[in-house]
Amino acid sequence: MKLKVCKPQKSGEQISDEEAGTVNVAADNAETSCSATPEQGRTELDGTQQDYNSARTRMDANDNDMSGGGTNAAHREGGRHEKFTWNIKYLTICLYAVLVVLASVLIIKAVIDWDNVMHHIKGAMNVLSPFLWGAFIAFLINPLVKLFDNKIFGKIKPLKKHEKPRKMLSLLISYLLVIFVVVIMFVYLLPQIGTSLTEIVNQVPGWIAELNNGLLKFEEEHPDIVVNFAAESHVDRSIEDPEVFLRTNILGTAVLMDACRKYGIERYHQVSTDEVYGDLPLDRPDLFFTEETPIHTSSPYSSSKASADLLVLAYHRTYGLPVTISRCSNNYGPYHFPEKLIPLMIANALNDKPLPVYGKGENVRDWLYVEDHCRAIDLIIHKGRVGEVYNVGGHNEMTNIDIVKIICKELGKPESLITYVADRKGHDMRYAIDPTKIHSELGWLPETKFADGIKKTIQWYLTHQKWWEDIIISGEYQKYYERMYGNR
CA dist 286 and 305 (Å) reads 26
CA dist 199 and 357 (Å) reads 28
List Cβ<8 Å contacts ≥24 apart for 217-222: 218/259, 218/260, 218/262, 218/263, 219/263, 222/263
User: In 3D, which of 353, 331, 332, 330 has the Cα closest to residue 469?
Assistant: 353
Residue 453's Cβ-side half-sphere holds a number of Cα atoms within 13 Å equal to 22
CA dist 324 and 389 (Å) reads 6
Neighbours of 231 (CB within 10 A): 20
Neighbours of 330 (CB within 10 A): 21
Dihedral (CA of 208, 213, 219, 221) sign: negative
Helix, strand, coil percentages (3-state) for the chain, rounded to 5, are: 65, 10, 30
Give DSSP secondary structure letters for 290-335.
-TTSPP---SHHHHHHHHHHHHHHHHHHHH---EEEEEE-EEESTT
The DSSP letter of residue 13 is: P
Catalytic residues, by residue number, are 274-275, 301
Helix or strand or coil: residue 271? strand
Residue 322: is it exposed, middle or buried by C-beta count within 10 angstroms (0-12/13-18/19+)? middle
Beta bridge partners of 272: 327
